[in-house]
Structure 1
Amino acid sequence: MTVLRWYNALNPSTWISNAFSSLRSLINKYHLDGIDIDYEKFPKGNSSTTTFAYCMGELITLLKNQSVIAEATVAPYYNTTQAYMELYRGYGEVINYVNYQFYTDKLRTPREYLQAFEFRASQFDRKKLLPSYEVNGRGIQGDAFFTALELLEENGLGVSGVMIFSADASASNGYYYEQKTQEFLLNSNSTGNM
């Protein structure tokens, strides 16, 4: 796995143009319909997050305006929240979902998960914020995750989707969490657009 590190583009227009060309080629070759922005390392300083927000926002906008993609998600975690908040404030209308990596927050109980979700919903649009789960990994584990999803619904937070990391880890258990999540979403009281 490669951890993407953001660097400050010396010429944002050139960076956006190059990124657009590269992504358009990959998206067309592999018949993709969206992208997920998941940079996890940033240089020190506020100009870094401003340049990131501008470049990513303009890139997503261009990809959507040219009908290259239909979906765009972002994947912040506790250490990168500021950069993604800046991106979302400026370009939230072109971002379909915020896949906040709750499993990095070391949450162990459904109540802690609810509190963390409420906090992140105050930073990002709660209608676009997705709960997330890491199979055999960090954070809340097992059926406690589904209890947390029920708590989210009971507290009016609506669950429009769920991000599960990762399919590789999930294969050994027959994709139990993906299947159970689908059942939850199908039986959910939420329309996802509350």
Structure 2
Amino acid sequence: MALPKLKLIITLVFIQALIISHTSIQAAPENSDIFREYIGAEFNNVKFSDVPINPNVEFHFLLSFAIDYDTSGSSPTNGNFNVFWDTDNLGASQVSAIKNDHSNVKVGLSLGGDSVNSGSCYFNPSSVDSWVSNAVSSLTSIIQQYNLDGIDIDYEHFKSDPNTFSECIGRLIKTLKDKGVIKFASIAPFDDDDVQSHYLALWKNYGQLIDYVNFQFYAYDQSTTVSQFINYFKKQSSNYNGGKVLASFSTDGSGGLSPENGFFTACHRLKSEQNLNGIFVWSADDSKKNGFRYEKQSQALLATPH
């Protein structure tokens, strides 16, 4: 009778070793090959097909923007979203074409943004329930019409408290995911007290539903150094603990650590530490004038074996 018991013990030890091994693999930090780019906000005739796409990365275009304002951009509509991006060049047929031509491409839409009709774009719901109901309905229609894959949350001005924002956006993401309308969701905060209070409330309550944190590191000062960028990245990775915080730069010259001043040096350092979760760029509209040189460089870095 001793032999079967010995076999059982050996089997149990082997299973335990497998579990420990699997757990350690899951817990290990890992670089990512995700590249994301905002497109369409500035109406300068940029097309999906203009942007170079490396086949060895996961590429997300983020249409900018869908906004819950009336079509004139003058009044908020409590969750009834309208399209405010350049649909002449970035319409439904173009979305289908770029996805058919590149199996590694997904296309999402970003909600909100900084401004509408030259004024600030405010998150301004009448109530949580009514806003969520309207948003689910209107966004489902837009997402299906344009054959989109996900949403990005980029509200930057608020006429609601953080908890209301958290409940509205959290329930929206959950409902769209539960219904199979979207495959991914991201948020796009930056280092401002009011902005962070809203997004950190959302993260605390619904962070498990958010796939990427498009942190706007280009909202920091233009004099940002490589070491400062690394520190900012670590700070925000701690704030959005457990999230995929992406490194970012802007091609409109607005701020942050630019490619000319060491952005890729910082990314190489993050990658060597297994902390590069991906890169995103604001925006394709601005990059068109320089031939998308930094998009090519970003994707080449991400596609390089770890």
Same fold, TM exceeding 0.5? yes
- CA–CA separation in structure 2 for the residues paired with 1:175 and 1:186: 17
The reply to whether residue 23 of structure 1 matches residue 139 of structure 2 is yes
Question: Kindly tell me: are residues 37 and 167 of structure 1, through their superposed partners in 2, closer, same or farther at Cα, counting changes over 3 Å?
Answer: same
- The structure whose residues are more often helix, as a share, is 1
The reply to whether residue 76 of structure 1 matches residue 193 of structure 2 is no
Unaligned runs of 5+ in 2: 1-114
Between the two structures, name the one with larger relative contact order (CA 8 Å, sep ≥ 6): 2
| Secondary structure of 2:158 counterpart | coil
TM-score (ref. length: structure 2)? 0.57
The reply to whether residue 158 of structure 1 matches residue 264 of structure 2 is no
1:12 CA displacement: 1.0
Given that residues 74 and 98 in structure 1 are in contact (C-alpha distance below 8 angstroms), is that contact kept between their aligned partners in structure 2? yes
- CA–CA separation in structure 1 for the residues paired with 2:241 and 2:291: 33
1:82 CA displacement: 1.5
The reply to whether residue 97 of structure 1 matches residue 212 of structure 2 is yes
Q: How does 1:52-67 map to 2 (within 5 A)?
A: 52-67=165-180
- Residue aligning to 1:177: 294
Structure 1 vs Structure 2: percent identity of aligned residues?
Answer: 38
- Residue aligning to 1:117: 233
Given that residues 214 and 246 in structure 2 are in contact (C-alpha distance below 8 angstroms), is that contact kept between their aligned partners in structure 1? yes
Computing the radius of gyration from Cα coordinates, the structure with the larger value is 2
- CA–CA separation in structure 2 for the residues paired with 1:108 and 1:26: 38
Structure 1's consecutive aligned runs of 4 or more residues displaced over 4 angstroms after TM superposition are none
The reply to whether residue 132 of structure 1 matches residue 248 of structure 2 is yes
RMSD of aligned Cα (Å):
1.6
- CA–CA separation in structure 2 for the residues paired with 1:67 and 1:181: 31
TM-score (ref. length: structure 1)? 0.89
Aligned residue pairs: how many? 184
Given that residues 249 and 259 in structure 2 are in contact (C-alpha distance below 8 angstroms), is that contact kept between their aligned partners in structure 1? no
- CA–CA separation in structure 2 for the residues paired with 1:125 and 1:173: 35
- CA–CA separation in structure 2 for the residues paired with 1:27 and 1:140: 33
- CA–CA separation in structure 2 for the residues paired with 1:136 and 1:100: 16
Question: Kindly tell me: are residues 126 and 149 of structure 1, through their superposed partners in 2, closer, same or farther at Cα, counting changes over 3 Å?
Answer: farther
Question: Kindly tell me: are residues 49 and 157 of structure 1, through their superposed partners in 2, closer, same or farther at Cα, counting changes over 3 Å?
Answer: farther
Unaligned runs of 5+ in 1: 190-194
- The structure whose residues are more often strand, as a share, is 2
